[in-house]
Structure 1
Amino acid sequence: MSQEKFPVDVEKDAIRADSYAEGAVPGESFEYGSSMYAKLQRLAGKFHVEQRGIERVPEDERDDTSLLNVGTMWLSANMVVSSFAIGLLAQKLFFLGFVDAILVCLFFNLIGVVPVCYFSTFGPRFGLRQMVLSRFWFGWYGVKLIAVFNVLACIGWSSVNSIVGAQLINAVNNDVPGFAGIIIIAICTLFVTFFGYKVVHAYEFWSWIPTFIVFLIILGEFAHSGAFVNIPMGVGTSELGSVLSFGSVVYGFATGWTSYAADYTVYQPRTQSRWKVFLAVWLGLMIPLLFTEFLGIAIMTATTLNDGNNRYMDGYNASGTGGLLAAVLLPPLGTFGKFCLVVLALSIIANNCPNIYSVALTMQVLGRGTQRVPRFVWTALGTAVYIAIAIPGYSHFEEVLENFMNFIGYWLAIYEGIAFADHFLYKRSMSAYEPAAYDQPRKLPPGMAAIFAFCCGIAGMVTGMSQVWFVGPIALHAGEAPYGGDVGFELGFAFAFASYAVARHFELRVFGR
């Protein structure tokens, strides 16, 4: 990989007068116009805030040649306490043993990251954000449905992540209530994302380092404690159901970046190797996901100790993920352990940056009106919304996390099924795309086939989902009653892929596009 660090040269984000009329009042350049949009954009330029929204990045402005920026973007975003929290669910919610939980984590992560890696390669080729690229599969109007789901995903991820960080802060100091920790994390995230793409990349380039060091300290202290318990594998239909259900959660977390994968490679040059981008993203995802989730699986086994005074279980019951980590660090390290917990809490910023940066771009895809609102305004509004959601959800984290992870995995599997079916069965190569038509509805697919396939994917998802509030008929037979085994994302993908493959054939014959 290239060793060149991403330069924080925000001056190059100054936008040409004729390049962004699409987001402004028709015919008006924001450098000279009198609309509110133009005035806000000029004000942003004075503070070196990124002004570009979902407009295509011109080839002569794609000046980020460093593959390290591609990899570290995802390395930092996943080397966080939220990833660690996923590992805790293996034993807590699904009653898996150690080895089977590790294997589930490995294989479902391998599946989940592939779409993120693949769609990241589209950014350099076209200079378009992921939701804008989705117009070539879902059409001008169909993509709005996907955008709504993506907004929910971005806001939901941010809410869940900030809850984890607030738990850590509360574990350090019980006098700091959950809502205060959430607000601290949200404001810090807003500060980074407000300035835009290059500042986000610059932050992510370094932020994984202190977090990784703290996780190594946690690993060392836990190994020294001798509290690890090698919980044996289960057997039979109950084990099958637990494996499938935990796998769905792991997959949902890993593939959760798919809907904005290309957002973070649009400044890579068109000539950048697609294989190198794919590999950089793959390493940036797999290394932190496996490391943190494996660590979470291992430490959670300590809560099963029957020694009459289990500080790990007490800590987890008192303050969730933060309490468990405090039980590992505070007894042996004292004040330094508290410092480590604060570092982990602040790692949430790196995890939330992609969500809050991309939610603004997704809002602009919803219509011409929302595109006339500058990106940084949507960033601020998105922050306010997820704060309002996270604060009341603080005391119900486990339930929120499990249900939300499954929801993300479900809809993204359907999205991936449609996108892969179109790309591999119909377009078949990058040359089949016409990137200049990204904002021309009459040159894009009608979107009927994609919407039909999305509905079919939902039908498949419903038959295979396994939640406390509903268990599909196929899921019921995939494990032990009453919850069976969750195969919602697998069936959602299969139904969407197959139905799109058929429906798109007829759509092309009727509309020719």
Structure 2
Amino acid sequence: MGKMDYDIKSSSPTGTDTEKGGLPTYTDEATAVPGEVFVQGDSLFAKTQRFVTKFGVEPRGIERVPEDERTDTNLVQVGTVWCSANMVVSSFAIGALAIPVFELGFVDALLTILFINLLGITPVCFFSTFGPRFGLRQMVLSRYFFGYYGVKVIAIFNVLACVGWSSVNVIVGAQLFNAVNPDVPGWAGIIIIAACTFFITLFGYKIVHKYEFWSWIPSFIIFLIVLGEFAHSGKFKNLTLHKGGPEAGSVLSFAASVFGFATGWTSYAADYTVYQPVNTSRRKVFLWTWAGLIFPLLFTEMLGLAVATATMNGPDDNPYITGYGKAGIGGLLAAVLFPPLGRFGEFCLVILALSIIANNCPNIYSLTFSLQLMTRYAQKVPRFIFTFIGTVIYCAIAIPGYSRFEEVLENFMLLIGYWLAIYEGIALSEHFIFKKRKYDLTIWNSPNELPPGIAAVLAFCFGVFGAVMGMAQKWWKGPVGRKIGLPMFGGDVGFELAFAFAAVSYWGLRFAEKRFFKR
């Protein structure tokens, strides 16, 4: 993490354009936006913001945060927001997929979980350090990599990721409710979790951080209970490693799923440090983020893997096989907790179902900024309205997808890994090779001074081509992916090729772009 140098210019607002939504007019519109601007004027926007701020709702959207308003000095929160978001049953489910879906042994799946998580979380930790320095949300910060207009393409993918993550997560939670009480249909569990998530994200940054600060603790305690009860059951089975091409294909495909989950937070990373003081240690931000990610991911995924080995123990009346067949991951956890713990086991499952709220809060909070980035008109819509719209949309997707969770989860994790590998290949190349860690913070909102974005968009297309070449999914196997493992299943190397194709093509394209456009 080398030193970042900044050429910061100052600007001041000259007034407020109340006829066009109450947003400020600047001599240099690249300046940071003071918080009081959002409630000034007689426009509908300003009146709405004045009303909701009385209840503690955050009025700020994608506008840059001034340095004097970056007053969140609690570095522990940098870690706990990610600890809570990953100490959930969704990450448990990722580990469990290794057995029924990818048919791996225990040791090979364990090692895949370890090393791929270490790789996947590194970009999240790195970009988290940008929040205090820039005062910009991650997608707005991405204008320095993709340009003012090119970043809109990335924002579309981020919207799909936020909505998709949320849909997948509430399905897991609804399965747990159904495992506790079969009379609770999937759609009811989905709506319960979504409504709770909406209530928290409605208020914004401070409330999200306060909730995430504590919510990992009950989940961790219950996962410890799961660990203890499963160890006591004697149902663990040390599945042997396989060999040759089939093993390589399964490991690579499982690795793609693990990578997609771990690195999935990259496109939100700076959103949760944006109110940290500008002089906050980047090393501390990096390390707190790393600790907050690696601990819950390894613990829950490895636990899920261990419990899933019990589904390979016959006979057919095995409660683990029966539970998994009836209610998926929820039924698998129920098989661990119900027989020995009875009603207390049901209580534990309900808490784990509600833990999904902590996982979905970052998705729905960050969704709003990507939507506001699409057009200037979207900035005239208060952030909390987009929160409501996003909640309705992911519920509409999750309810019909409830009965096909494993297929949805596997395919979605892989797709997330593809596009974020492309994003990382381009963003890291721009930062280290072309920006050389130097940024002019005054141009964040200036289309004619930011990179044109042509090179980034073209490189993104090359990255998509690489992903298609390396895919190994049920609905498509690329020419590279199908040559790994068994022809029927292949081995997924989509995210590796996506990163390589995007990064290498971007180097050449960006050199040409800078030479022609001089920016």
Equivalent residue for 1:492? 498
| CA–CA distance in structure 2, aligned partners of residues 387 and 39 of structure 1 | 30
Q: Give the secondary-structure state (helix, strand or coil) at the position aligned to 1:49.
A: coil
Secondary structure, in 3 states, of the residue corresponding to 2:505?
helix
CA shift digits 1:360-381 (9 cap, x unpaired): 1111111101111111110111
Deviation for aligned residue 1:19: 8.8
Correspondent of 2:64 among 48, 56, 63? 56
Once residues 182 and 285 of structure 2 are traced to their aligned partners in structure 1, the CA distance between those partners, rounded to angstroms, is 44
In the alignment, is the contact (CA less than 8 A) between 1:449 and 1:503 conserved in 2?
Answer: yes
Most deviating of 90-99 and 16-25: 16-25
Q: Which amino acid aligns with 1:357?
A: Y
| Equivalent position to 1:221, from 209, 212, 229 | 229
Q: Secondary structure at the match of 2:58?
A: coil
**What is aligned with 2:366?**
358
Which residue matches 1:104?
112
Cα distance, 1:40 vs. partner? 1.5
1:19-30 aligned within 5 A: 24-25=21-22, 30=38
Within the candidate set 91, 104, 107, 2:99 is matched to: 91
2:504 equivalent to 1:507: no
For the residue of structure 1 that corresponds to 2:292, the secondary structure is helix
TM-score, length-normalised on structure 1? 0.95
Could you tell me which runs of 5 or more consecutive residues in structure 2 were left unpaired when the two chains were aligned: 1-12, 26-36
Deviations 1:173-231 (A, max 9, x none): 11111000000000000010000100000000000000000000000000000000000
Q: Please state if 1:386 is matched with 2:394.
A: yes
Distance of 1:125 and 1:83 partners within structure 2: 31
Say whether 1:438 aligns with 2:428. Answer: no
Aligned to 2:172, which of 143, 156, 164? 164
Residues 55-454 of structure 1 aligned to structure 2 (within 5 Å): 55-429=63-437, 432-454=438-460
Q: Which amino acid aligns with 2:140?
A: V
Relative to structure 1, the CA distance from residue 465 to residue 426 in structure 2 (aligned partners, 3 Å threshold; closer, same or farther) is same
Q: Secondary structure at the match of 2:480?
A: helix
Please say if residues 263 and 420 of structure 2, whose CA atoms lie closer than 8 Å, have aligned partners that are also in contact: yes
Aligned to 2:487: 481
Q: 1:378 to 1:80 in 2, by over 3 A?
A: same
Q: Show CA shifts across 1:126-180 (max 9, x none).
A: 1100000000010011000000000000000000000000000010011111000
- Per the alignment, do residues 33 and 166 of structure 1 end up closer, same or farther by CA in structure 2, a change over 3 Å counting? same
Identity %: 65
TM-score, normalising length from structure 2? Answer: 0.94
**What count of residue pairs does the alignment treat as equivalent?**
496
Q: Kindly indicate whether the alpha-carbon contact (under 8 Å) linking 1:476 and 1:484 is maintained by their aligned counterparts in 2.
A: yes
CA distance in 1 between partners of 2:513 and 2:277 (Å): 34
Q: Aligned partners of 1:168 and 1:486: how far apart in 2? A: 30
Once residues 454 and 267 of structure 1 are traced to their aligned partners in structure 2, the CA distance between those partners, rounded to angstroms, is: 30
Matched residues in 2 for 1:201 and 1:354: separation? Answer: 10
Give me the whole-angstrom Cα distance separating, in 2, the residues matched to 1:256 and 1:281. 14
Contact 1:356/1:383 (CA < 8 Å) preserved in 2? Answer: yes
Q: Is the 8 A contact 1:23 1:371 kept in 2?
A: no
Does the 8 Å CA contact 1:413/1:493 hold for their aligned counterparts? yes
2:456 equivalent to 1:459: no
Q: Aligned pair in 2 of structure 1 residues 35, 176: CA closer, same or farther (>3 Å)?
A: same
Query: Is 416-425 or 60-69 further displaced after alignment?
Result: 60-69
Secondary structure of 2:311's counterpart equals helix
Q: Which amino acid aligns with 1:225?
A: S
SS of the residue corresponding to residue 314 of structure 2 reads: coil
1:36 positional shift: 2.2
Q: Quick one: which amino acid aligns to residue 451 of structure 1?
A: V
Question: Equivalents in 1 of 2:191, 2:14: separation in Å?
Answer: 37
Could you tell me how far 1:394 is from its partner in structure 2?
Answer: 0.5
Contact preservation (8 Å) 1:249, 1:409: yes
SS in 2 for 1:441: coil
Task: Provide runs of 4+ in structure 1 moved above 4 Å.
Answer: 16-23, 25-30
Q: 1:240-260: CA deviations, max 9, x gaps?
A: 000000000000000000001
Task: Tell me the distance in 2 between the aligned counterparts of 1:273 and 1:241.
Answer: 41
| Higher helix fraction (1 or 2) | 1
In structure 2, distance between residues paired with 1:312 and 1:20: 62
SS at match of 2:477: coil
1:20/1:55 contact within 8 Å kept: no
Matching residue's letter, 1:485: G
Q: Within 5 A, what are the aligned runs for 1:14-53?
A: 24-25=21-22, 30-53=38-61
Distance 1:491 1:22 in 2: 49
Q: Is the CA contact 1:159–1:390 (under 8 Å) kept in the aligned structure 2?
A: yes
CA 1:19–1:499: 2 relative to 1, 3 Å? farther
Q: Report the Cα distance in structure 1 between the residues aligned to 2:398 and 2:57, rounded to whole angstroms.
A: 27
Cα distance per residue 1:445-495 (max 9 Å; x no partner): 100000010000011111001110110111112222122110000000000
Corresponding residue of 1:469: 475
In the TM superposition, residue 46 of structure 1 has moved relative to its aligned partner by: 1.7
The 8 Å contact of residues 18 and 42 in structure 2, kept in 1 or not, is answered as no
Residue type of the alignment partner of 1:189: T
The amino acid across from 2:450 in the alignment is: L
Preserved contact between residue 147 and residue 452 of structure 2 (Cα < 8 Å) = yes
Amino acid paired to 1:202? K
